[in-house]
Amino acid sequence: MTPTSLITLVDEHLALARQASSGRSAHTVYGGHARTLRQTLIALAAGQRLDEHENPGEATLQVLHGRIRLTADTASSDGAAGDLLTIPDARHALEALEDAAVLLTVAKI
């Protein structure tokens, strides 16, 4: 049981995202493709986005830093540090309204 500092990971991956041509960086905090539960830290530089993609299963998005916009169909929801958003069971996209980091938690069915 070794603790993971999300604050340290946010700082590291925001720095990587700012330098990356894609404007993003990600790190699997727990689990992976062979497990039911997976948690991934995703850092996005301001203005960058994850284009529309399929829902990975039951999932939530915890905003750790900055502000984001989650869109699905014609609806959208903004989140700020400390907010928890449920990812809809539909194609969706994620945009960083400012430098942002989120913790994506997915339980694959």
pLDDT digits (tens, 9 = 90+) for 54-109: 777 789 999 999 999 999 988 899 999 999 999 988 899 999 999 999 999 999 76
**pTM of the full structure:** 0.92
Domains identified in the chain and CATH numbers: 6-107 (2.60.120.10)
Cα–Cα distance between 64 and 9 in angstroms, integer? 10
Name residue 14's beta-bridge partners.
none
> Phi first, then psi: what are they for 79, rounded to 5°?
-135, 150
Sheet containing 92-96: which strands, arranged edge to edge?
Answer: 49-53, 92-96, 67-72, 75-80
Element (H, E) at 10: helix 6-19
Cα–Cα distance between 94 and 109 in angstroms, integer? 22
Please determine, for residue 1, whether its predicted confidence score (pLDDT) is greater than 80.
no
Averaged pLDDT, 12-24: 97
